[in-house]
Amino acid sequence: MSTPGAALLTRQPLAGSGRGSKGLAMQLLLAVVSSGYAVGAALGWGSDELAEIMGDFGLSAAGLLAAVSCFTYARSIDSRERPAWLLFSFSSLMGCCGNAVWGWYEVVLGEAVPKPSLADFAFLCFAPPAIVGLLVLAKRPVTRAGWVCLGLDSWLIGGSLLTLSWSLALAHAARTAQSGAPGSVPRAALSLAYPLLDIALVSMVLVLHFRRSETNRSAVNTAIAALALTVLSDALFTSPLLSAEYQSGQLLDAGWFAGSLLLAYAPWGARRLNPLPDPVAHARAERPHSRPITGSLPALTPYLAAAVCTLGILYNVVDGRKVDRVVVFTGCTVVLALVIRQGIMLLDNIALTQELAQKENHFRSLVQGSSDVIMIAAPTGTLRYVSPAAAGVYGREAEELVGTELATLIHPEDLGRVVHEVRRFLAAPPTEEPTTRIECRFRSGGGEWLNVESTVNRHQGGLILNSRDVTERVRLQAQLQHSAEHDPLTDLPNRALFTRRVRQALTGRRAGDHSTAVLFIDLDGFKAVNDTIGHQAGDELLVEAARRLQDSVRAGDTAARLGGDEFAALILGDGGRDRSAREYQVHEIADRLRTTLSQPYRIAGSEVRVAASIGVAFADPGITPSDLMRNADLAMYRAKAGGKDRVEMYAPQMQAEVVRKAELAGRLRTALHDGEFALLHQPVVSLASGEISAVVAQARWRSAQGILFTPAEFLRVAECSSAGGAGGAAGEGGSTARAVVPDASRTAELGRWLLEEAVGQAAERHRAGHDVPVAVRMTAQRLLDRSMPLGSVEALLTRNGLPSGALVLELAVSDPRVPFDDLERRLAALRRLGVLIALDGFGSGYAAISALRRLPVDMLKLDRGLVEGVVESPRLHKITAGLLRIANDLGMQSVAEGVDLPEQVMALRTMGCTHGQGMAFSGPLDEYRLRRALVRGTFPVPGGAAQPAWAGGSPGGSMVIHRGSHNETPVPPA
């Protein structure tokens, strides 16, 4: 294209319809048949008899064909056009009958046609139906003035033709009628009737040519042409030069024959040629150069009629004849009609001018006062009009934009898309898509690009654009999109955006690159930062960690925050096929990230340290984004479980372990409802005398293979979850590793079952005479849990009739955030009922000293970590001895848990420990073995060399020595 604007508005050509070829074939057939008849008539048909047959019955057959065609078409449509085509059918039928009568006389009877005859009556009936049919097809006036103008226009044309015809021939026929000769009056009347009806028909044809309806326009035009051809042949027939020498079969008959065939073709051929609206033709009709001469002919019609009338009068004057009164009267009426019509037109023009001025002022006010910019582009793409709002919207004056190529103002990156949309819009049918909407960037007066939204309409082959500045809206949408895809605290991509980028990396052009890796990162010790220096400091640490992470990854990689203190990184592959080298490289990147994130942070004027546990997973063939992220998450939790502050690569067995834990959690839920849990008791023995001073209730899960799983087995996942829950805000959706943890409701349900079973069996033992307290382990969080009804422990003791001092609650306080005020009040209420309180896990955790200082505690239970190394480690020996001195100084009993070796018994007794629990005395016992042990009452206490521990039972029972009290225990024999 010569200019960008022309390229902008160039339309693609439309595919032509297959029906056009059929219409062209019909036109060619019509032309061939009409030309053949004309050639035959010109050559005389070869004989007089054939000429008479073709001149009479040939015309009759053509008229019959036209009548049948119009009648059939009228029955096939259901609109206001039906009466018109029925009238055309009747008119053609009259012509058919007239020619048939004419042929009857000339061909069958061999006589001359009498005048007047039945044929003349049929021919006279041809014109009136055709005139009425044309009136039906015409566009009806909507006002009285319109009807008056229609009548005046008809008379102007008819009167002018009457004046001319009267001067040439009709006056002679009238004088012949006045001569008084025999038969002259009917013949003269017939001679006058033919031209007068033809004049009326010609008048209607000319008037209605400019007032035809838009409906089925091609068919109406063809019908008007057919009637015009018929009238022309009638005019030549009635002229003095041909009427006396006319014979059937002459060349004049070719005009009537062609007119009938054309009328028969009009409805069907026109409909085949134009079955659907043509958008291209419609667009061309809107162009400014659409035949201006044709549009001016209706305005010139009155003046042409007056000119013809004047010529008729001048003909009489120049010929030296006396001006006929008919001519004078007709001329005067034509002039009077012309004056009246011009007066009506003048009044209409004045009213239209005023209305146009009002509408123009109205729309000018709307356009100039609108905040939107209205532009009109020519077909070449040049701006022809720009509203004044352009100065405020674009920063450019409207006069400056007029004459500019529209394409030069659009951003080059948007121009191709805009051109495609405009071409598609212009090619679409206007009725189906009157407008379209385009959004692009537009150059402003300051040189910057504005986001502009435009509504586009067609206008004379060009475009009307109603544009508005939507830059702020686009910016707001971009901000909302950014907020939806980024973490509000660190401005890193969030989980949703990170997941989408992982999916793109796996499914895009890197789909075959299996060296892409995902890193999951968790900050170790972040929970302590929140607890010690506050959440505000924790947020500052997260922001700084995010900045370090963002600075450490490459430009094409993605760093994201998934929630809480969990981050992630997408490391795109390099296309290499050496898996080991790539793993080594990614491991180095991850270790460098770990080192960077583990550097000290300067928060609130103090130095804060956290570590980073990182899990790495690679994009194996066929892996999904969710599976890849799950693998990295599993590797990260394996790094935390392996000691934290380390990098762990994903291995398939990690997923197998997760599946095993998930199955175990599911089985745990089923076991709770199916009663698969068993209650065992482990004796607490006096280190001085060996007497059983209490029993500790422990839950066991009986497997299908007869194995009793310990709490270390079926609650390990929950314990790891509670111990490793280092995070501030909750993560978005949680991690895969946490999905298999039994929920709090299941753990609470197991705790309730353990307490109820322990109290119930202890009450039965008391009724049997075994007055040994039962100890039940319970966490401080569980004791204060609101889901546990207040007074439930008290109600349980009352319901089972357990006496005072028969229940010991081993309280585990591992969380420093436990509200000690509430816990102290709760324990005081229980002690008033005679419940003894033992502080479990003394010597480990953050809250042991605070709990000892504030809570009402009756006994201390040493942590098994102190007991296990009390013999081998001198340092641990001194720590344990110091803790035992504290208990003795406070007047409390002390219980050592996990006493498995005789050496430990002797060392603890030497330090002042009063009681012990472990395999050095007995393992967990079922109810039967426990009662036998209670009957015995004591266990042997090692005093020198190590002795095997008796697990109870008959002399033939099993003697088992274990290294830990939480290993799997075989099911005792019944």
Among the listed ranges 114-118, 444-448, 473-477, 815-819, which one has the minimum average pLDDT value?
815-819
Check residue 281 and give its pLDDT: 44
Helix (H, G, I), strand (E, B) or coil at 610: coil
Q: Which amino acid is at 864?
A: R
Say if residues 831 and 856 touch (Cβ distance below 8 Å). Answer: yes
Encoding tokens for residue 415? 């121009």
Handedness of CA 331, 337, 340, 342 (dihedral sign): negative
pLDDT category at 791 given cuts 50, 70, 90 is: low
Q: Where are the beta strands (DSSP E) in 248-400?
A: 373-377, 383-386
863 class by beta-carbon count within 10 Å (0-12 exposed, 13-18 middle, 19+ buried): buried
Handedness of CA 13, 17, 21, 24 (dihedral sign): negative
Say if residues 454 and 387 touch (Cβ distance below 8 Å). Answer: no
Check residue 948 and give its pLDDT: 36
* Average predicted confidence (pLDDT) for the chain: 77
Say if residues 673 and 921 touch (Cβ distance below 8 Å). Answer: no
Render pLDDT for 801-811 as a digit per residue (tens, 0 to 9). 888 889 999 98
The C-alpha atoms of residue 916 and residue 683 are separated, in whole angstroms, by 9
Neighbours of 809 (CB within 10 A): 21
Among the listed ranges 252-261, 504-513, 900-909, 930-939, which one has the minimum average pLDDT value?
504-513
Q: Specify the pTM.
A: 0.48
Q: Greater confidence, 131 or 735?
A: 131
Question: What residue has token string 């009452």?
Answer: 937
Handedness of CA 81, 87, 88, 93 (dihedral sign): positive
Flag whether pLDDT at 696 surpasses 90: yes
Check residue 210 and give its pLDDT: 53
Going by DSSP bridges, is the β-strand pair 893-897/915-917 parallel, antiparallel, or unpaired? parallel
Q: Greater confidence, 16 or 365?
A: 365
Q: From residue 903, give the alpha-carbon distance in Å to each of 383, 540, 907, 943.
A: 103, 52, 6, 9
Helix (H, G, I), strand (E, B) or coil at 922: coil
Check residue 567 and give its pLDDT: 95
% of residues, the chain, pLDDT over 70: 71
Looking at residues 751-760, what average pLDDT do you find? 88
Render pLDDT for 903-943 as a digit per residue (tens, 0 to 9). 999 999 999 999 999 999 999 999 999 999 999 989 998 87
Check residue 158 and give its pLDDT: 63
Length of the chain: 974
Check residue 683 and give its pLDDT: 95
Helix (H, G, I), strand (E, B) or coil at 969: strand
801 class by beta-carbon count within 10 Å (0-12 exposed, 13-18 middle, 19+ buried): exposed
Q: What is the DSSP string of 614-675?
A: EEEEE--TT--HHHHHHHHHHHHHHHHHTTSSSEEE--HHHHHHHHHHHHHHHHHHHHHHHT
User: Which residues are CB-neighbours of 370 under 8 A, at least 6 positions away?
Assistant: 387, 389
Looking at residues 3-8, what average pLDDT do you find? 52
The C-alpha atoms of residue 162 and residue 228 are separated, in whole angstroms, by 17
Looking at residues 25-29, what average pLDDT do you find? 82
Check residue 934 and give its pLDDT: 92
The C-alpha atoms of residue 838 and residue 696 are separated, in whole angstroms, by 12
Flag whether pLDDT at 772 surpasses 60: yes
Q: From residue 943, give the alpha-carbon distance in Å to each of 868, 896, 901, 913.
A: 19, 17, 12, 15
Flag whether pLDDT at 185 surpasses 60: no
Say if residues 313 and 331 touch (Cβ distance below 8 Å). Answer: yes
Helix (H, G, I), strand (E, B) or coil at 3: coil
Going by DSSP bridges, is the β-strand pair 373-377/462-469 parallel, antiparallel, or unpaired? antiparallel
The C-alpha atoms of residue 440 and residue 103 are separated, in whole angstroms, by 76
The C-alpha atoms of residue 329 and residue 5 are separated, in whole angstroms, by 62
The C-alpha atoms of residue 274 and residue 220 are separated, in whole angstroms, by 13
Q: Which of 571, 566, 568, 573 is nearest to 553 (CA)?
A: 571
Among the listed ranges 172-181, 210-219, 242-251, 369-378, which one has the minimum average pLDDT value?
172-181
Render pLDDT for 715-732 as a digit per residue (tens, 0 to 9). 554 444 333 333 333 333
pLDDT category at 212 given cuts 50, 70, 90 is: low
Check residue 186 and give its pLDDT: 54
pLDDT category at 594 given cuts 50, 70, 90 is: very high
pLDDT category at 611 given cuts 50, 70, 90 is: very high
Flag whether pLDDT at 387 surpasses 70: yes
Flag whether pLDDT at 381 surpasses 60: yes
Among the listed ranges 127-141, 296-310, 840-854, which one has the minimum average pLDDT value?
296-310
Q: From residue 56, give the alpha-carbon distance in Å to each of 104, 253, 618, 835, 898.
A: 8, 9, 98, 134, 133
Q: Greater confidence, 132 or 635?
A: 635
Cis bond leading into 116, ω under 30°? yes
Render pLDDT for 444-457 as a digit per residue (tens, 0 to 9). 888 889 999 999 98
The C-alpha atoms of residue 685 and residue 687 are separated, in whole angstroms, by 6
Flag whether pLDDT at 40 surpasses 70: yes
Looking at residues 355-360, what average pLDDT do you find? 80
Looking at residues 687-698, what average pLDDT do you find? 92
Encoding tokens for residue 867? 């007991």
The C-alpha atoms of residue 864 and residue 870 are separated, in whole angstroms, by 10
Check residue 231 and give its pLDDT: 72
Q: What is the DSSP string of 199-226?
A: HHHHHHHHHHHSSB-STTHHHHHHHHHH
Question: What residue has token string 């003349």?
Answer: 120
Encoding tokens for residue 123? 């021919």
Q: Which of 705, 917, 965, 962 is nearest to 808 (CA)?
A: 917
User: Which residues are CB-neighbours of 971 under 8 A, at least 6 positions away?
Assistant: 702, 706, 707, 708
Check residue 641 and give its pLDDT: 83
The C-alpha atoms of residue 913 and residue 897 are separated, in whole angstroms, by 11
443 half-sphere exposure, CB direction, 13 A CA radius = 13
Render pLDDT for 811-868 as a digit per residue (tens, 0 to 9). 887 666 677 888 888 888 888 889 999 988 887 765 567 778 888 889 999 888 889 8
Flag whether pLDDT at 694 surpasses 70: yes
CA 305, distance to chain mean position in Å, is 66
Looking at residues 159-164, what average pLDDT do you find? 59
Say if residues 887 and 860 touch (Cβ distance below 8 Å). Answer: yes
Flag whether pLDDT at 273 surpasses 50: no
The C-alpha atoms of residue 488 and residue 392 are separated, in whole angstroms, by 36
